[in-house]
Amino acid sequence: MSSSNKYITGIYPGSFDPVTKGHLHLIGRASHIVDKLIVAVAENVNKKPLFSLEERYEMLKCDIDHMIDKGCCEIEVTTFSTLLVHYAEEVKASYIIRGLRAVSDFEYEFQLTGMNAKLDPDIETLFLMASDKWQFVSSSFVKEISYLHGDVSAFVTPQVEEHLNKKFKN
């Protein structure tokens, strides 16, 4: 949390299709860095998500409700469909928080950070490395495993697993 008088807001954006335990771990860690954390579900019309924006929002909200009022910062779950930098400006975020799992994430994130800095140099990007337990967990892998009727219980919460099972029951 902030030691100065400035109230610091961070935004942790993502598609969260679906939210994984790796995402939740990063949210927990990020909640100790800022005074308010906005976890923002991106609409991203270029991707073809398995879950609707509303479903992703609800699953994420349900999963982080247990984090609220547990000694961490204020956490808010929202959705957005604009440029991330524009949304960060709108909610007065000083930081964009991004997770890195592997070197393969770095190149994309490096380019994204450079573009965001050109669009608004006052918004900083903070990178949090995934813990070794979650480095290889991705929403894409979780969906594939679930689609092929594999066990994803180690990677997602029971309520997310239930949503995946409903999507892939046929």
10-residue stretch averages of pLDDT, the chain, 170 residues long: 72 96 94 95 88 96 78 89 96 95 81 92 94 91 95 96 90
CA dihedral 48, 52, 54, 59 (to 10 degrees): -90
Which residues form the catalytic set? 23, 47, 101, 139
Q: Where are the domains of the chain?
A: 9-135
The set of long-range contacts for 57-64, using a CB threshold of 8 Å and a minimum separation of 24, is 59/16, 59/18, 59/19, 59/159, 59/160, 59/163, 60/16, 60/19, 60/23, 62/159, 63/19, 63/24, 63/157, 63/159, 63/160, 64/24, 64/27, 64/39
Pairing of the two strands 36-42 and 124-129:
unpaired
**Looking at domain 9-135, which CATH architecture does it have?**
3-Layer(aba) Sandwich (3.40)
